[in-house]
Amino acid sequence: MNQIQLVGLFFFVGILLGSLVSFYFVAHDGKMPQVSEVGSTVKTAISDHQDRATIGDIMVEVKRLQRVIMQLNATKANNSKVVYIDKVPTNHEELDLKKGTNRLIEFKDSSMHTDDHRIANELAKKVRVLCWITTYSENLQKRAIHIKNTWGKRCNKLLFFSDKDEPNFPAIGLGVDTGREHLTAKTMRAFDYIYKHYYNEADWFLKADDDTYVIVENLRYMLSAHSPSEAIYFGQVFSVIVKQGYNSGGAGYILSAEALSRFAKRDATLCAQDQGAEDVEMGLCLEKLHVVPGDTRDKLGRSRFHCFNPQTHLHGGYPDWYPQYDKYGAKKGVEWISDYPISFHYVSPDELYDLEYFAYHFGVYGIVNGLQDLNGDPNLRKTTSTTTFTTSTTSTPPRQPERKQQQQQQQSEQQIQQQQQQQ
Protein backbone atom coordinates (compact mmCIF):
# COMPACT_ATOMS: atom_id res chain seq x y z
CA MET A 1 0.00 0.00 0.00
CA ASN A 2 1.46 3.39 -0.99
CA GLN A 3 1.37 6.51 1.17
CA ILE A 4 -1.49 8.12 -0.76
CA GLN A 5 -3.69 5.07 -0.23
CA LEU A 6 -2.78 4.90 3.45
CA VAL A 7 -3.57 8.59 3.99
CA GLY A 8 -6.83 8.10 2.18
CA LEU A 9 -7.73 5.15 4.38
CA PHE A 10 -6.98 7.10 7.56
CA PHE A 11 -9.09 9.96 6.20
CA PHE A 12 -11.89 7.47 5.59
CA VAL A 13 -11.63 6.20 9.17
CA GLY A 14 -11.76 9.77 10.50
CA ILE A 15 -14.88 10.55 8.47
CA LEU A 16 -16.45 7.27 9.57
CA LEU A 17 -15.80 8.00 13.22
CA GLY A 18 -17.12 11.54 12.92
CA SER A 19 -20.26 10.32 11.20
CA LEU A 20 -20.68 7.56 13.74
CA VAL A 21 -20.40 9.93 16.68
CA SER A 22 -22.85 12.37 15.10
CA PHE A 23 -25.29 9.58 14.34
CA TYR A 24 -25.24 8.25 17.89
CA PHE A 25 -25.49 11.72 19.36
CA VAL A 26 -28.67 12.44 17.42
CA ALA A 27 -30.18 8.96 17.56
CA HIS A 28 -29.72 8.61 21.31
CA ASP A 29 -31.13 11.95 22.46
CA GLY A 30 -27.77 13.64 22.73
CA LYS A 31 -26.01 10.77 24.54
CA MET A 32 -22.46 10.00 23.56
CA PRO A 33 -21.74 6.50 22.17
CA GLN A 34 -20.14 3.73 24.16
CA VAL A 35 -16.49 3.22 23.21
CA SER A 36 -16.91 -0.49 22.50
CA GLU A 37 -19.62 0.33 19.95
CA VAL A 38 -17.38 2.79 18.12
CA GLY A 39 -14.41 0.42 18.01
CA SER A 40 -16.34 -2.62 16.83
CA THR A 41 -18.18 -0.66 14.14
CA VAL A 42 -15.00 0.84 12.70
CA LYS A 43 -13.16 -2.49 12.81
CA THR A 44 -16.00 -4.15 10.90
CA ALA A 45 -16.06 -1.34 8.35
CA ILE A 46 -12.39 -1.59 7.45
CA SER A 47 -11.75 -5.31 7.88
CA ASP A 48 -12.73 -6.13 4.31
CA HIS A 49 -10.41 -3.56 2.75
CA GLN A 50 -6.90 -4.03 4.14
CA ASP A 51 -4.50 -6.69 5.41
CA ARG A 52 -3.87 -7.36 9.12
CA ALA A 53 -0.73 -5.23 9.40
CA THR A 54 -2.53 -2.19 8.03
CA ILE A 55 -5.54 -2.79 10.27
CA GLY A 56 -3.21 -2.90 13.26
CA ASP A 57 -1.89 0.55 12.37
CA ILE A 58 -5.38 1.86 11.83
CA MET A 59 -6.68 0.48 15.11
CA VAL A 60 -3.96 2.38 16.97
CA GLU A 61 -5.43 5.56 15.49
CA VAL A 62 -8.95 4.34 16.26
CA LYS A 63 -8.03 3.81 19.90
CA ARG A 64 -6.65 7.34 20.03
CA LEU A 65 -9.91 8.67 18.66
CA GLN A 66 -11.81 6.51 21.13
CA ARG A 67 -9.98 8.26 23.94
CA VAL A 68 -11.06 11.61 22.48
CA ILE A 69 -14.66 10.41 22.56
CA MET A 70 -14.26 9.25 26.16
CA GLN A 71 -12.92 12.65 27.11
CA LEU A 72 -15.95 14.21 25.44
CA ASN A 73 -18.11 11.86 27.48
CA ALA A 74 -16.38 12.97 30.67
CA THR A 75 -16.67 16.66 29.75
CA LYS A 76 -20.34 16.28 28.95
CA ALA A 77 -20.91 14.44 32.23
CA ASN A 78 -19.09 17.12 34.22
CA ASN A 79 -20.99 19.93 32.52
CA SER A 80 -24.33 18.27 33.21
CA LYS A 81 -23.38 17.28 36.77
CA VAL A 82 -23.97 13.66 35.83
CA VAL A 83 -21.39 10.96 36.51
CA TYR A 84 -20.67 9.20 33.22
CA ILE A 85 -19.26 6.04 34.79
CA ASP A 86 -21.45 4.63 37.53
CA LYS A 87 -19.86 1.18 37.56
CA VAL A 88 -16.67 -0.09 39.09
CA PRO A 89 -13.89 0.24 36.46
CA THR A 90 -12.55 -2.97 34.97
CA ASN A 91 -10.12 -1.38 32.49
CA HIS A 92 -7.83 1.64 32.30
CA GLU A 93 -10.14 3.68 30.08
CA GLU A 94 -12.95 3.49 32.62
CA LEU A 95 -10.55 4.25 35.46
CA ASP A 96 -9.31 7.36 33.65
CA LEU A 97 -12.82 8.76 33.73
CA LYS A 98 -12.92 8.68 37.52
CA LYS A 99 -11.78 11.98 38.95
CA GLY A 100 -9.18 11.37 41.63
CA THR A 101 -8.07 13.44 44.56
CA ASN A 102 -5.56 16.21 43.84
CA ARG A 103 -4.25 16.44 47.39
CA LEU A 104 -2.19 14.26 49.66
CA ILE A 105 -4.16 12.89 52.59
CA GLU A 106 -2.31 12.54 55.88
CA PHE A 107 -3.69 10.36 58.67
CA LYS A 108 -3.05 12.31 61.88
CA ASP A 109 -4.16 9.79 64.47
CA SER A 110 -0.94 7.79 64.73
CA SER A 111 -0.36 9.02 68.28
CA MET A 112 -3.62 7.33 69.30
CA HIS A 113 -2.70 3.94 67.85
CA THR A 114 -1.40 1.28 70.20
CA ASP A 115 -0.88 -1.40 67.56
CA ASP A 116 1.94 -3.87 68.05
CA HIS A 117 4.17 -3.67 64.95
CA ARG A 118 6.95 -5.92 66.17
CA ILE A 119 6.12 -8.93 64.01
CA ALA A 120 5.64 -6.81 60.89
CA ASN A 121 8.88 -4.95 61.60
CA GLU A 122 10.75 -8.20 62.08
CA LEU A 123 9.44 -9.57 58.79
CA ALA A 124 10.47 -6.33 57.06
CA LYS A 125 14.07 -7.09 58.06
CA LYS A 126 13.97 -10.75 57.06
CA VAL A 127 11.85 -10.55 53.89
CA ARG A 128 13.29 -7.64 51.94
CA VAL A 129 11.00 -6.41 49.17
CA LEU A 130 11.90 -3.91 46.47
CA CYS A 131 8.77 -2.40 44.90
CA TRP A 132 8.87 -0.67 41.56
CA ILE A 133 5.99 1.18 39.93
CA THR A 134 5.50 1.61 36.22
CA THR A 135 4.12 5.07 35.44
CA TYR A 136 4.71 8.02 33.11
CA SER A 137 5.35 11.71 33.61
CA GLU A 138 1.72 12.78 33.28
CA ASN A 139 0.71 10.39 36.07
CA LEU A 140 3.39 11.24 38.63
CA GLN A 141 1.27 13.85 40.39
CA LYS A 142 -2.07 12.24 39.49
CA ARG A 143 -1.40 8.69 40.69
CA ALA A 144 2.17 7.79 41.55
CA ILE A 145 2.49 10.34 44.33
CA HIS A 146 -0.43 8.73 46.16
CA ILE A 147 1.27 5.34 46.09
CA LYS A 148 4.35 7.06 47.46
CA ASN A 149 2.17 8.48 50.24
CA THR A 150 0.41 5.20 51.10
CA TRP A 151 1.53 1.61 50.64
CA GLY A 152 4.80 2.34 48.83
CA LYS A 153 6.49 3.61 51.99
CA ARG A 154 6.26 0.11 53.52
CA CYS A 155 8.54 -1.43 50.89
CA ASN A 156 12.21 -1.85 51.77
CA LYS A 157 12.99 0.04 48.58
CA LEU A 158 10.58 1.98 46.35
CA LEU A 159 11.33 2.97 42.75
CA PHE A 160 9.28 4.68 40.04
CA PHE A 161 10.03 4.11 36.35
CA SER A 162 8.71 6.65 33.87
CA ASP A 163 9.18 7.71 30.26
CA LYS A 164 11.77 10.32 31.31
CA ASP A 165 13.89 11.24 34.31
CA GLU A 166 12.12 13.25 37.00
CA PRO A 167 14.83 13.85 39.64
CA ASN A 168 12.56 15.91 41.88
CA PHE A 169 9.99 13.15 42.29
CA PRO A 170 12.20 11.06 41.82
CA ALA A 171 11.45 8.84 38.83
CA ILE A 172 13.85 6.95 36.59
CA GLY A 173 13.47 7.49 32.84
CA LEU A 174 13.97 4.42 30.68
CA GLY A 175 13.84 6.09 27.27
CA VAL A 176 10.76 4.12 26.26
CA ASP A 177 7.83 5.76 24.48
CA THR A 178 4.62 6.19 26.45
CA GLY A 179 1.65 3.96 25.75
CA ARG A 180 0.66 0.47 26.85
CA GLU A 181 1.94 -0.93 23.55
CA HIS A 182 5.47 -0.27 24.85
CA LEU A 183 4.95 -1.65 28.36
CA THR A 184 6.86 -4.83 27.52
CA ALA A 185 10.03 -2.89 26.73
CA LYS A 186 9.55 -0.69 29.77
CA THR A 187 9.13 -3.66 32.11
CA MET A 188 12.09 -5.59 30.77
CA ARG A 189 14.39 -2.56 30.89
CA ALA A 190 13.25 -1.80 34.43
CA PHE A 191 14.06 -5.31 35.66
CA ASP A 192 17.46 -5.14 33.93
CA TYR A 193 18.12 -1.77 35.60
CA ILE A 194 17.12 -3.11 39.02
CA TYR A 195 19.37 -6.14 38.67
CA LYS A 196 22.30 -3.90 37.77
CA HIS A 197 21.80 -1.31 40.52
CA TYR A 198 19.72 -2.82 43.34
CA TYR A 199 20.01 -6.61 43.23
CA ASN A 200 21.78 -6.90 46.59
CA GLU A 201 19.34 -4.58 48.38
CA ALA A 202 16.38 -6.97 48.30
CA ASP A 203 15.41 -10.63 48.04
CA TRP A 204 12.11 -10.14 46.21
CA PHE A 205 11.25 -7.68 43.42
CA LEU A 206 7.66 -6.49 42.98
CA LYS A 207 6.36 -4.85 39.81
CA ALA A 208 3.06 -2.95 40.14
CA ASP A 209 1.04 -0.42 38.14
CA ASP A 210 0.30 3.09 39.37
CA ASP A 211 -3.31 2.04 40.00
CA THR A 212 -2.46 -0.99 42.15
CA TYR A 213 -2.80 -1.17 45.94
CA VAL A 214 -0.56 -3.59 47.85
CA ILE A 215 -0.66 -4.63 51.50
CA VAL A 216 3.06 -5.15 51.88
CA GLU A 217 2.92 -6.89 55.27
CA ASN A 218 0.64 -9.59 53.84
CA LEU A 219 2.99 -9.96 50.89
CA ARG A 220 5.94 -10.50 53.21
CA TYR A 221 3.96 -13.05 55.21
CA MET A 222 3.23 -15.09 52.08
CA LEU A 223 6.85 -14.83 50.93
CA SER A 224 8.13 -15.91 54.36
CA ALA A 225 7.15 -19.48 53.44
CA HIS A 226 9.49 -19.41 50.43
CA SER A 227 13.15 -18.90 49.67
CA PRO A 228 14.41 -16.18 47.30
CA SER A 229 16.71 -18.85 45.87
CA GLU A 230 13.68 -20.57 44.29
CA ALA A 231 13.19 -19.94 40.57
CA ILE A 232 9.65 -18.66 41.09
CA TYR A 233 7.43 -15.62 40.71
CA PHE A 234 4.11 -14.85 42.35
CA GLY A 235 0.90 -13.06 41.38
CA GLN A 236 -2.58 -13.88 40.11
CA VAL A 237 -2.19 -16.78 37.71
CA PHE A 238 -3.86 -16.76 34.31
CA SER A 239 -4.01 -20.15 32.58
CA VAL A 240 -4.15 -19.18 28.89
CA ILE A 241 -1.54 -18.51 26.17
CA VAL A 242 1.49 -19.54 28.28
CA LYS A 243 1.66 -23.31 28.84
CA GLN A 244 2.54 -23.10 32.53
CA GLY A 245 0.38 -20.02 33.06
CA TYR A 246 1.50 -16.47 33.75
CA ASN A 247 0.83 -13.77 36.33
CA SER A 248 -1.48 -10.83 35.64
CA GLY A 249 0.38 -7.54 35.29
CA GLY A 250 -2.35 -5.45 36.87
CA ALA A 251 -2.47 -7.44 40.10
CA GLY A 252 1.28 -6.99 40.40
CA TYR A 253 3.81 -9.82 40.36
CA ILE A 254 6.98 -10.44 42.32
CA LEU A 255 10.17 -12.16 41.21
CA SER A 256 12.49 -14.01 43.54
CA ALA A 257 16.16 -13.08 43.52
CA GLU A 258 16.88 -16.24 41.54
CA ALA A 259 14.16 -15.44 39.01
CA LEU A 260 15.50 -11.91 38.52
CA SER A 261 19.03 -13.24 38.13
CA ARG A 262 17.96 -15.67 35.41
CA PHE A 263 16.00 -12.95 33.66
CA ALA A 264 18.89 -10.47 33.69
CA LYS A 265 21.33 -13.09 32.35
CA ARG A 266 18.99 -14.26 29.57
CA ASP A 267 19.99 -14.65 25.95
CA ALA A 268 18.95 -11.42 24.23
CA THR A 269 17.18 -13.38 21.48
CA LEU A 270 15.17 -15.51 23.89
CA CYS A 271 12.46 -13.00 24.84
CA ALA A 272 10.45 -10.29 23.11
CA GLN A 273 11.95 -6.81 23.29
CA ASP A 274 8.68 -4.88 22.94
CA GLN A 275 5.07 -5.05 21.76
CA GLY A 276 2.58 -7.66 22.84
CA ALA A 277 0.91 -7.82 26.24
CA GLU A 278 3.57 -7.15 28.87
CA ASP A 279 2.44 -9.80 31.37
CA VAL A 280 2.11 -12.44 28.64
CA GLU A 281 5.56 -11.66 27.21
CA MET A 282 7.11 -11.80 30.69
CA GLY A 283 5.33 -15.10 31.26
CA LEU A 284 6.64 -16.56 28.01
CA CYS A 285 10.13 -15.30 28.79
CA LEU A 286 10.22 -16.67 32.33
CA GLU A 287 8.85 -20.02 31.15
CA LYS A 288 11.85 -20.34 28.82
CA LEU A 289 14.09 -19.56 31.81
CA HIS A 290 12.38 -22.29 33.87
CA VAL A 291 10.89 -19.81 36.31
CA VAL A 292 7.46 -21.02 37.44
CA PRO A 293 4.39 -19.07 38.62
CA GLY A 294 3.67 -19.98 42.24
CA ASP A 295 0.26 -20.65 43.76
CA THR A 296 -0.58 -17.59 45.85
CA ARG A 297 -3.89 -18.77 47.30
CA ASP A 298 -4.01 -19.14 51.05
CA LYS A 299 -4.43 -22.44 52.89
CA LEU A 300 -8.20 -22.29 52.41
CA GLY A 301 -7.94 -21.77 48.65
CA ARG A 302 -8.82 -18.07 48.81
CA SER A 303 -7.26 -15.47 46.52
CA ARG A 304 -4.56 -13.04 47.65
CA PHE A 305 -3.64 -11.26 44.38
CA HIS A 306 -6.49 -9.53 42.54
CA CYS A 307 -6.48 -8.01 39.05
CA PHE A 308 -9.62 -5.93 39.69
CA ASN A 309 -10.99 -3.46 42.21
CA PRO A 310 -12.11 -4.91 45.61
CA GLN A 311 -15.77 -4.25 44.76
CA THR A 312 -15.53 -6.33 41.60
CA HIS A 313 -14.01 -9.30 43.42
CA LEU A 314 -16.57 -8.97 46.21
CA HIS A 315 -19.71 -8.51 44.13
CA GLY A 316 -18.92 -9.64 40.59
CA GLY A 317 -19.26 -7.74 37.34
CA TYR A 318 -16.25 -9.43 35.76
CA PRO A 319 -15.55 -8.85 32.04
CA ASP A 320 -16.56 -11.72 29.77
CA TRP A 321 -12.98 -12.79 29.15
CA TYR A 322 -12.06 -13.21 32.83
CA PRO A 323 -13.52 -16.69 33.60
CA GLN A 324 -11.49 -18.18 30.75
CA TYR A 325 -8.28 -16.57 32.04
CA ASP A 326 -8.31 -17.01 35.82
CA LYS A 327 -6.76 -20.34 36.76
CA TYR A 328 -8.93 -20.83 39.83
CA GLY A 329 -12.40 -20.17 38.49
CA ALA A 330 -12.97 -16.40 38.76
CA LYS A 331 -14.78 -16.78 42.06
CA LYS A 332 -16.36 -13.81 43.81
CA GLY A 333 -17.54 -12.97 47.31
CA VAL A 334 -16.04 -12.52 50.76
CA GLU A 335 -15.73 -16.28 51.21
CA TRP A 336 -13.22 -16.43 48.34
CA ILE A 337 -10.95 -13.54 49.33
CA SER A 338 -8.20 -14.24 51.84
CA ASP A 339 -8.21 -12.55 55.24
CA TYR A 340 -4.67 -11.53 54.28
CA PRO A 341 -5.17 -10.11 50.77
CA ILE A 342 -2.11 -8.73 49.01
CA SER A 343 -3.16 -6.64 46.01
CA PHE A 344 -6.02 -5.02 44.11
CA HIS A 345 -6.01 -3.29 40.71
CA TYR A 346 -7.89 -0.44 38.99
CA VAL A 347 -7.79 1.50 42.25
CA SER A 348 -8.33 5.25 41.89
CA PRO A 349 -6.32 7.72 44.04
CA ASP A 350 -9.36 8.24 46.29
CA GLU A 351 -9.69 4.50 46.74
CA LEU A 352 -6.01 4.19 47.61
CA TYR A 353 -6.76 6.23 50.72
CA ASP A 354 -9.97 4.29 51.34
CA LEU A 355 -8.01 1.03 51.41
CA GLU A 356 -5.29 2.65 53.49
CA TYR A 357 -7.90 3.65 56.05
CA PHE A 358 -9.62 0.27 56.23
CA ALA A 359 -6.34 -1.67 56.35
CA TYR A 360 -4.42 0.45 58.86
CA HIS A 361 -6.86 2.68 60.77
CA PHE A 362 -10.32 1.11 60.90
CA GLY A 363 -10.85 -1.06 63.95
CA VAL A 364 -13.32 -2.40 66.51
CA TYR A 365 -12.78 -1.28 70.10
CA GLY A 366 -12.05 -4.08 72.54
CA ILE A 367 -11.19 -6.69 69.91
CA VAL A 368 -7.58 -7.62 69.26
CA ASN A 369 -7.21 -9.67 66.10
CA GLY A 370 -5.22 -12.86 66.45
CA LEU A 371 -2.76 -14.09 63.85
CA GLN A 372 -3.95 -16.73 61.40
CA ASP A 373 -1.74 -19.44 59.95
CA LEU A 374 -2.85 -19.16 56.33
CA ASN A 375 0.30 -20.20 54.49
CA GLY A 376 0.23 -23.74 53.16
CA ASP A 377 -0.98 -25.90 50.29
CA PRO A 378 -4.54 -24.82 49.43
CA ASN A 379 -5.18 -28.21 47.85
CA LEU A 380 -5.09 -29.78 51.31
CA ARG A 381 -7.81 -27.36 52.51
CA LYS A 382 -6.89 -27.56 56.18
CA THR A 383 -9.00 -25.66 58.68
CA THR A 384 -7.54 -22.30 59.67
CA SER A 385 -6.44 -21.75 63.23
CA THR A 386 -5.34 -18.88 65.41
CA THR A 387 -1.68 -19.39 66.24
CA THR A 388 1.27 -17.73 67.84
CA PHE A 389 3.63 -16.44 65.16
CA THR A 390 7.17 -17.74 65.43
CA THR A 391 9.67 -16.42 62.93
CA SER A 392 11.90 -19.47 63.32
CA THR A 393 9.33 -21.63 61.51
CA THR A 394 8.02 -19.18 58.93
CA SER A 395 10.86 -16.85 58.02
CA THR A 396 12.45 -17.07 54.60
CA PRO A 397 15.81 -18.84 54.43
CA PRO A 398 18.06 -15.78 54.20
CA ARG A 399 20.45 -14.98 51.38
CA GLN A 400 24.13 -15.01 52.34
CA PRO A 401 24.59 -11.34 53.41
CA GLU A 402 21.48 -11.50 55.54
CA ARG A 403 22.47 -14.84 57.09
CA LYS A 404 25.68 -13.28 58.39
CA GLN A 405 23.76 -10.39 59.94
CA GLN A 406 21.34 -12.86 61.51
CA GLN A 407 24.19 -14.84 63.10
CA GLN A 408 25.73 -11.66 64.49
CA GLN A 409 22.40 -10.62 65.98
CA GLN A 410 21.92 -14.03 67.59
CA GLN A 411 25.42 -13.91 69.11
CA SER A 412 24.72 -10.45 70.49
CA GLU A 413 21.47 -11.62 72.07
CA GLN A 414 23.22 -14.62 73.63
CA GLN A 415 25.88 -12.37 75.16
CA ILE A 416 23.21 -10.13 76.69
CA GLN A 417 21.43 -13.15 78.17
CA GLN A 418 24.69 -14.45 79.67
CA GLN A 419 25.42 -11.08 81.25
CA GLN A 420 21.93 -10.95 82.76
CA GLN A 421 22.32 -14.46 84.21
CA GLN A 422 25.66 -13.53 85.80
CA GLN A 423 24.07 -10.52 87.46
* Per-residue model confidence as pLDDT tens digits over 20-66: 444 444 444 444 444 444 444 444 444 444 443 444 444 445 445 55
User: pLDDT band at residue 291, thresholds of 50, 70 and 90?
Assistant: very high
Asked if 43 and 56 count as a contact pair (C-beta separation under 8 A), the reply is: no
pLDDT given at position 84: 38
Taking the domain 120-372, which CATH number applies?
3.90.550
Q: How far apart are CA 251 and CA 172, in angstroms?
A: 22
User: pLDDT band at residue 366, thresholds of 50, 70 and 90?
Assistant: confident
Percent of the chain with pLDDT over 90: 46
Q: How far apart are CA 258 and CA 265, in angstroms?
A: 11
Per-residue pLDDT reduced to its tens digit, 187-203: 999 999 999 999 999 99
The residue with greater pLDDT, 378 or 293, is 293
pLDDT given at position 345: 93
pLDDT given at position 1: 52
Asked if 316 and 332 count as a contact pair (C-beta separation under 8 A), the reply is: yes
